[in-house]
Amino acid sequence: MERESLEMDVVFVGAGPANLSGALHLARLVSDHNAAIENGAKEGKALGEVQIAVIEKGSSVGAHNLSGAVMDPRGLAELIPDFREQGAPLESEVKDDHFLYLTRKRAIRSPINPPPLNNHGYYIVSLNRLTAWLGEQCEAAGVNVFPEFPGAEMLFDDKERVVGIRTGDKGIDKEGKHKANYEPGVDLLAKVTVLGEGVRGSLTKKLVQRLGLDEGREPQVYSLGVKELWELPDDRYPAGRVTHTLGFPSDQWTYGGGWIYGLQNRVVNLGYVTGLDYRDPLIDPHAEFQKFKSHPFVAKLLAGGKMIRYGAKAIAAGGWNAMPQMFADGVLIVGDSAGFLNAARLKGIHSAIKSGMLAAETIFEALLNEDYSSATLQNYERRVKESWIAPELRRYRNFHAAFRHGRWLGMANAGLQYIFGGRAWGVFDRDHQEAGHEAMQKLSAYGYHGDELSQRYRDLRFDGQLTFNKVTDVYHAAVAHDEDQPAHLHVLDTNICATRCAEEYGNPCQRFCPAAVYEMVEANTPQDGARDAANSSKPRRQLQINFSNCVHCKTCDIMDPYQIINWVTPEGGGGPDYKGM
């Protein structure tokens, strides 16, 4: 079957707030320009019809978006100044802000909120509702929005210029053979391709490696947010209330904290962030969240309520010093894919929107100059540096790195950074931080033995009321993948799983994955059996990948200690179907 090619002018990969804002802003810049030329208000050449496409791997725009979220409206107000009147889906204005320190039994309220967590004037939103709405605004402005289209590969010309992307094939069975409904992916050719894949983008990762765009930067570091929505029986937690917590259940070497946001109709949204640079190989971010809920303060809040939704997603926390070069010939990187998130504030929607807008302004300039090379596209990075994003991110540039010294020194360091304009300990311009997976210690460093792998959570019970196991939670993420397709989680050497990883780390993929995708099971092939008999008295275990559970959080790609897990896009439309997240 022949592969179809479609010529667009600009292709945005990923329908998150960054790219939807970029596409919308670009469509408006072009139409305003054309109108001004036509009515004589401006001199020059009209651009004519500019074909703009946004592709999204989810089954609809919004289906794969998950966030907190308290949104700083600054970005949205620049994109759509009358967003309230236009009907932007806002849950509530933030009405009160609480910051709690949790000990094992107590919740101590801080008399003041740490300045980065001051949310006055902000809005609680559900990101997947907001992106669905932005998608509608894009379509109304003439942008082509294609859900169920994963960007599977970048296309380059012979001079290493990006010339578009190839979307994923459909209808391939788990053996790699074509099914009756086989449809090859389409080559979407574009003058400029914009990668807005969110955190740890699969195409972005490859592009950055191929072109060395992270040279001289700090390694990106990540956290994982695990989240549930709960319906409460009464109005005990009002819409607009925001609570952030520090302390229990994280240990002192694990960056972590909780959030509880009040939504409309007696729904609360709560979650827990665990730094994906933890040391203890037994840590399980999903279990940390379940423990968080079992704290008396949280358990009392949820008593009599019902869990209705679940999801998880990684967060790019490295900040300013970890951002790669964001342009190359024919390509720009926006939003979380480039690391625009402010980890101290746990906010990235406003800067994702702004980055998309700055990309759009640069592409508009490129269309006018008919130059899509780095010479013009580098102006995107200049625009970022001249915008309000730069001072905001520079101020917190060493924030996450501070916490590798432990919780208390981390807080002291973060305080000094705040006073001294982002300098680590108030002195150093740039603090080095290793990649998160390198921070994980071996079992032996913690004195753990192979049969004690559940000891960190031995007190945790999944009661099906307040606390849930992963499989129950994943059911509430409404995940669906066609099971007759190749696994989209490529483990480059499964032998390592059964041997070195089992011994050194106790297969931490079984714990860091919040969706029970990875399981070590007894080997069941005759070859494995023969090898076991020859090599060991213990039955050999092998990796089983339950890929259909995957919620696309990207944690495995990030946290695997040997970096042998490669997350690639599954068939279009597969994945979670988030609602209200």
Minimum distance, C-beta of residue 15 to ligand FAD, in the bound complex (Å): 5
Segment contacting ligand FAD by CB under 6 A, of 12-20, 209-217, 369-377, 500-508: 12-20
Minimum distance, C-beta of residue 524 to ligand FAD, in the bound complex (Å): 34
Burial (0-12, 13-18, 19+ Cβ within 10 Å), 157: exposed
Q: Which listed residue (8, 11, 12, 17) binds ligand FAD by CB under 6 A?
A: 17
DSSP character at residue 77 = H
Minimum distance, C-beta of residue 19 to ligand FAD, in the bound complex (Å): 6
Q: Which listed residue (50, 268, 346, 479) binds ligand FAD by CB under 6 A?
A: 346
Segment contacting ligand FAD by CB under 6 A, of 55-63, 206-214, 372-380, 496-504: 55-63
Per-residue binder mask for ligand FAD (CB under 6 A), 527-556, x = binder: ------------------------------
Residues from 457 through 516 that contact ligand FAD (CB under 6 A): none
DSSP letters for 150-206? -EEEEEE-TTS-EEEEEEPPEEE-TTS-EEEEEEPPPEEE-SEEEE---TT-HHHHH
Q: Which listed residue (10, 11, 12, 16) binds ligand FAD by CB under 6 A?
A: 16
Nearer to ligand FAD, 337 or 433 (CB): 337
Segment contacting ligand FAD by CB under 6 A, of 233-241, 275-283, 345-353, 398-406: 345-353
Contact 234, 240 (CB under 8 A): no
Sheet holding 222-231, edge to edge: 107-109, 96-102, 241-247, 256-262, 267-275, 222-231, 306-316
Give the 3-state secondary structure of residue 262.
strand
Q: Which listed residue (341, 439, 501, 551) binds ligand FAD by CB under 6 A?
A: 341
DSSP letters for 62-73? TTT-----EE-T
Q: Which listed residue (245, 362, 467, 569) binds ligand FAD by CB under 6 A?
A: 569
The yes or no reply on residue 71 touching ligand FAD (CB under 6 A) is yes
Per-residue binder mask for ligand FAD (CB under 6 A), 109-128, x = binder: ------------------x-
Minimum distance, C-beta of residue 310 to ligand FAD, in the bound complex (Å): 12
Segment contacting ligand FAD by CB under 6 A, of 27-35, 54-62, 389-397, 425-433: 54-62
Given the DSSP bridges, would you call strands 144-146 and 52-55 parallel, antiparallel or unpaired? parallel
The tokens of 212 are what?
A: 């060395």
Per-residue binder mask for ligand FAD (CB under 6 A), 213-232, x = binder: ------------x-x-----
Which residue do the tokens 């092939």 mark? 525
The yes or no reply on residue 151 touching ligand FAD (CB under 6 A) is yes
Contact 257, 249 (CB under 8 A): no
Segment contacting ligand FAD by CB under 6 A, of 14-22, 325-333, 388-396, 470-478: 14-22
Nearer to ligand FAD, 91 or 560 (CB): 91
Minimum distance, C-beta of residue 314 to ligand FAD, in the bound complex (Å): 6
Nearer to ligand FAD, 410 or 573 (CB): 573
CA–CA separation, 93 vs 82, rounded Å?
15
Nearest to 137 by CA among 77, 83, 78, 193: 83
Minimum distance, C-beta of residue 535 to ligand FAD, in the bound complex (Å): 40
Q: Which listed residue (10, 11, 29, 55) binds ligand FAD by CB under 6 A?
A: 55
Burial (0-12, 13-18, 19+ Cβ within 10 Å), 235: exposed
Given the DSSP bridges, would you call strands 107-109 and 10-13 parallel, antiparallel or unpaired? unpaired
Taking the CA of residue 221 as centre, how many other CA atoms within 13 Å lie in the half-sphere pointing to its CB? 32
Contact 464, 473 (CB under 8 A): no
The yes or no reply on residue 150 touching ligand FAD (CB under 6 A) is yes
> With the C-alpha atoms ordered 462, 463, 467, 472, is the resulting torsion angle positive or negative?
positive
Minimum distance, C-beta of residue 575 to ligand FAD, in the bound complex (Å): 7
The tokens of 176 are what?
A: 């790699």
Please report, for the chain, how many H helices and E strands are present, in that order.
19, 26
Q: Which listed residue (25, 33, 64, 309) binds ligand FAD by CB under 6 A?
A: 64
The yes or no reply on residue 413 touching ligand FAD (CB under 6 A) is no
Minimum distance, C-beta of residue 401 to ligand FAD, in the bound complex (Å): 19
Return the CA Rg of the chain: 24
Q: Which listed residue (228, 336, 473, 577) binds ligand FAD by CB under 6 A?
A: 336
Residues from 351 through 410 that contact ligand FAD (CB under 6 A): 352
Q: At a CB cut-off of 8 Å and minimum separation 6, what does 447 contact?
A: none
Q: How many chain residues touch ligand FAD (CB under 6 A)?
A: 45
Residues from 180 through 209 that contact ligand FAD (CB under 6 A): 196-199, 201-203
Contact 352, 21 (CB under 8 A): yes
Phi, psi of 334 (to 5 degrees): -125, 165
CA–CA separation, 572 vs 40, rounded Å?
45
Give the 3-state secondary structure of residue 337.
helix
Minimum distance, C-beta of residue 259 to ligand FAD, in the bound complex (Å): 7
Q: Which listed residue (59, 65, 137, 413) binds ligand FAD by CB under 6 A?
A: 65
Residues from 313 through 332 that contact ligand FAD (CB under 6 A): 313, 315
Q: At a CB cut-off of 8 Å and minimum separation 6, what does 246 contact?
A: 99, 100, 101, 102, 257, 407
Nearest to 377 by CA among 544, 161, 131: 161
Segment contacting ligand FAD by CB under 6 A, of 39-47, 67-75, 275-283, 297-305: 67-75
Residues near ligand FAD, by CB under 6 A: 13-19, 55-58, 64-71, 127, 150-151, 196-199, 201-203, 225, 227, 271, 313, 315, 335-337, 341, 346-350, 352, 569
